[in-house]
Homo-oligomer: A and B are copies of this chain.
Amino acid sequence: MILAFLGTAGSGKTTLAGSFGKYLEKEGSSVAYVNLDTGVRRLPYRPDLDVRDIVTVEEIMEEGYGPNGAIVESYDRLLSHVPGIASRIISLTNERDYTLIDTPGQMESFLFHEFGVRLMESLSEPLVAYLFSPEILRRPHDYCFVRFFALMIDLRLGATTVPVLNKIDTLKDEELNMHRRYLEDVEYLTARLKFDPSMSGLMAYKMCSFFPEIAPPVRVVYASAVDGRGFEELETLTYEHYCTCGDLT
């Protein structure tokens, strides 16, 4: 079973992959770790496959590239290695119960680069956990944004995508409940958006109204690498995805 952690830089992919892996191992599962981030310095897990053995952002910067150019260049150079990386992931998947994939630090290096698209196409039915932090949820239409963003990942990578609100240990109970309500109760969100007179509000209202017809049935996970909340649900969802035909309601 493959679970790939995707999200913007700072959304907590690497930390969550490490803690969730430890949790699975404690539960008696065997876990493989795959690092696809060419720019990471330290990992909280021992990778079974590490793209930094092929190329790193920092060695490309030493050639004279700026940091943005070096990140893009590192994935350009990895492109020819996709078949090798994919077949190694497939054999890890056959050997272990879980293969956790820690995707590039910058989400766009995976979502907009051929490297990510081709790699995901080579794997069979990978499940994606799309991590986002509470701080990006400030206005009603931000909830619409993250729900649609999960669909965009699904569309681009052809992989079922579970939205994961991460770092919930930083939230008070009432804040978490508010986020839950906006993320899960689309009718509630749509009703709130109706009162937003801005152009963005109107567009969000229309998008959310169509959401139930467009979106596959996937529930939202609330997780914390600090206290382990959400781990059991993530484990269940991964199991259900692989063993009960992808119904993740």
Contact = CB atoms under 8 A, between A and B. Distances in A.
Contact of A200 (B148, B158, B207): B158
29 contacts: A9-B69, A9-B106, A9-B109, A10-B68, A10-B72, A37-B68, A39-B68, A40-B66, A41-B66, A57-B66, A67-B67, A67-B70, A69-B105, A71-B106, A117-B138, A148-B152, A148-B155, A149-B152, A151-B203, A152-B152, A154-B200, A154-B203, A158-B198, A158-B199, A199-B216, A203-B214, A206-B214, A210-B210, A210-B213
B207 A151 contact: yes
Interface string A126-166: 00000010011010011011001101101110101000000
Nearest to A149: B152
A108 interface: yes
Report how many copies the assembly holds. Answer: 2
Interface string A38-62: 0111000000000000000110010
A236 B137 CA distance: 35
Given A145-B155, A210-B214, A108 B9 contact: yes
A8 interface: yes
A88 B204 CA distance: 31
B145 A152 contact: yes
A15 B151 CA distance: 31
A233 to B, nearest CB: 22
Closest 10 CB pairs of A and B: A68-B105, A41-B66, A39-B67, A158-B200, A9-B68, A8-B112, A8-B108, A10-B72, A67-B67, A210-B210
A86 to B, nearest CB: 17
A71 to B, nearest CB: 6
Interface in A186-229: 198-200, 203-204, 206-207, 210, 213-214, 216
A144 B151 CA distance: 12
Interface residues of A, number: 54
Contacts of A203: 151, 154-155, 214, 216
B151 A155 contact: no
A97 interface: no
A107 interface: yes
Contacts of A58: 66-67
A67 B57 contact: yes
A207 to B, nearest CB: 6
- The residue in A9, A66, A135, A206 that gathers the most chain B C-beta atoms within 10 A of its C-beta is A9
